[in-house]
Amino acid sequence: MNAPAESLLRYDPPVLVPKSADKKSAKGRPPKPRKSKPQPPADSLLSLRKSITATLEDIKQKNENLLNLMFPPRRWEEANKEWVQRVCSEPSTRVDVVNLEEELDKKLLQTRTMETGICPLRRQLYTECFDELIRHVVLICAERGLLLLRVRDEIKMTIAAYQTFYESSMVFGVRKALHDEQDKVALKDRISDLENIKEELIEKLDYQKKKCVEVKKMAAEKQEAQEKTCTEEIQSLRKNNQQMKVQLEGLLTAKK
């Protein structure tokens, strides 16, 4: 296992773990806080200084234990040697905060992270920066640092929930796209069938139109022939009527 990558969270220099070290401590568990020994009555300035020093050491040990719980030590093996690196427990100054901001901007440029949208690299860098700020606050006020840690965990849970929703929506989108593609193929086949039916109906319509024209033509010719026949019959009847009229007039004239 190679050494971990550089992080915006400040760590102490790595320490070589002796092979005879206790296995329980090798799991990254922080040492138990030392119990402060009862101090004699502060009857002198020296005893008061010792009491203050012991109190400061207890506070420092408490902060170290809290930091180790919040940010477990990093462990790795290199050249068959085990190394451990704990989070730095030294208080930070204003200069450290300014340097943190500069280092953040530098890494954002080096990794060419996206300025907007979803970018895992940008999210990772801002997470490390937030952890470093929590470390700063813990060394000043442990309760405030724990509250910020709670806020950080809540943000991570919210982001994880959004990521789950995004992944489920992607799966639904892919499934919907496949379903739509199948429907698209079915609709294309249906369109092809309807176009074939349309062509058949157009051919039948053209045939019926031609047949209708022929029927109209035959009906017109038949009507014309019937009209011609009727006209001839009428003319013949008129001619016969005229002849009979002439004969009738001749008979009446002869009788007189």
How does DSSP assign 3-59, residue by residue? Answer: PPPP-SS-BPPPEEPPTTS-HHHHTTPPPPPPPPPPPPP--SHHHHHHHHHHHHHHH
Query: Does 38 have pLDDT greater than 60?
Result: no
User: What confidence score (pLDDT) does residue 64 get?
Assistant: 82
Identify the bridge partners of residue 77 per DSSP, sorted by sequence position: 82
Q: How far apart are CA 138 and CA 129, in angstroms?
A: 14
Q: How far apart are CA 231 and CA 239, in angstroms?
A: 12
CB atoms within 10 A of CB 123: 12
Q: How far apart are CA 123 and CA 113, in angstroms?
A: 9
User: What confidence score (pLDDT) does residue 151 get?
Assistant: 92
**pLDDT mean over 170-174:** 89
Burial class (CB in 10 A: 0-12, 13-18, 19+), 27: exposed
Q: How far is CA 101 from CA 88, 125, 130, in A?
A: 18, 11, 11
CB-based contact 137:144 (threshold 8 Å):
yes
Query: Does 36 have pLDDT greater than 60?
Result: no
CB-based contact 40:47 (threshold 8 Å):
yes
Which of the two residues, 23 and 110, has the higher pLDDT score? 110
User: What confidence score (pLDDT) does residue 33 get?
Assistant: 46
Report helix, strand and coil shares of the chain as percent, to nearest 5: 70, 5, 25
Least confident window among 2-6, 88-92, 153-157, 206-210: 2-6
Identify the bridge partners of residue 87 per DSSP, sorted by sequence position: 11
**pLDDT mean over 61-85:** 85
Least confident window among 12-26, 92-106, 169-183: 12-26
Which range scores top for mean pLDDT: 59-63, 135-139, 198-202, 244-248?
198-202
Which of the two residues, 141 and 22, has the higher pLDDT score? 141
Contacts 24+ apart (CB under 8 A), 140-147: 140/91, 142/62, 142/63, 142/66, 145/66, 145/70, 146/66
Q: How far apart are CA 62 and CA 141, in angstroms?
A: 12
Q: How far apart are CA 99 and CA 92, in angstroms?
A: 11
Token output for 24:
């329980």
Identify the bridge partners of residue 15 per DSSP, sorted by sequence position: 84
Which of the two residues, 38 and 118, has the higher pLDDT score? 118
